[in-house]
Amino acid sequence: MIKLVILDRDGTINADSDEFIKSPQEWQPLPGALEAIAKINHAGWHVAIASNQSGLGRGLFDVASLNAMHAKLHKLLSAHGGRVDAIFYCPHTPDDNCSCRKPLPGLFEQIGERFGVDLKGVPVVGDGLRDLQAGAAVGCEPHLVLTGKGAEFRGRTLPDTFPAGTRVHQDLAAFADWLVSRPPPRPAS
């Protein structure tokens, strides 16, 4: 079975904004984030992204702009020797009552189908509660980064609304260091 990690996008890989990220110019990677994805890849992991992009449904940008942001992501990442296999996004607004907007797990289910993997134990990394709730709903292993919206939890104990066993990392680079140095799971006996 392939090794897969699922990442949130805004606030986890790139700088987030309350005004939404609407263009490739506004899409700016966080320090060390692209290097972190490359490190994860080089340790044998595939990476998929699951991202709420309600700015689409709100009419703040169009799919062509989103594709251009992701072309920038792929290009900058490949310059660092890294690769994201797939980007799954929810284009809806909260009022659409869809099943793919995190904290609902629809994007994760799509990823599981695309990769043909059971998501149980698959690491999910995000800067917000709803990222980890969506992952936990399908059995993913939750990791919070303290970048983006996660900055509010620096130096604090996490509220117990977070899924049990949530691990906290300063940023994506710290998560990557943790992941690649983790001993492999013991074979089931």
Would you name the residues annotated as active-site residues?
A: 8, 10
Long-range contacts of the stretch 146-149 (C-beta < 8 A, 24+): 146/170, 146/171, 147/11, 147/12, 147/30, 147/171, 147/172, 148/10, 148/11, 148/12, 148/15, 148/16, 148/30, 149/11, 149/16
Which of 36, 25, 18 lies closest to 151, judged by CA? 18
Q: Does the footprint of Zn ion cover residue 101 (CB under 5 A)?
A: yes
Closest CA to 173 of 11, 8, 30, 4: 30
127 binds Mg ion (CB under 5 A): yes
Question: Is residue 171 close enough to count as binding Mg ion by CB under 5 A?
Answer: no
Considering only 41-49, 98-106, 152-160, 162-170, which stretch makes contact with Zn ion by CB under 5 A?
Answer: 98-106
* Residue 90 interacting with Zn ion (CB under 5 A): yes
| Binds Zn ion (CB under 5 A): choice among 86, 98, 158, 180 | 98
Q: Which of 8, 77, 136, 143 binds Mg ion (CB under 5 A)?
A: 8
Nearer to Mg ion, 127 or 141 (CB): 127
Closest contact distance (angstroms) between CB of 130 and Zn ion is: 12
Smallest gap from residue 92 Cβ to Zn ion (A): 4
Binding region for Zn ion (CB under 5 A): 90, 92, 98, 100-101
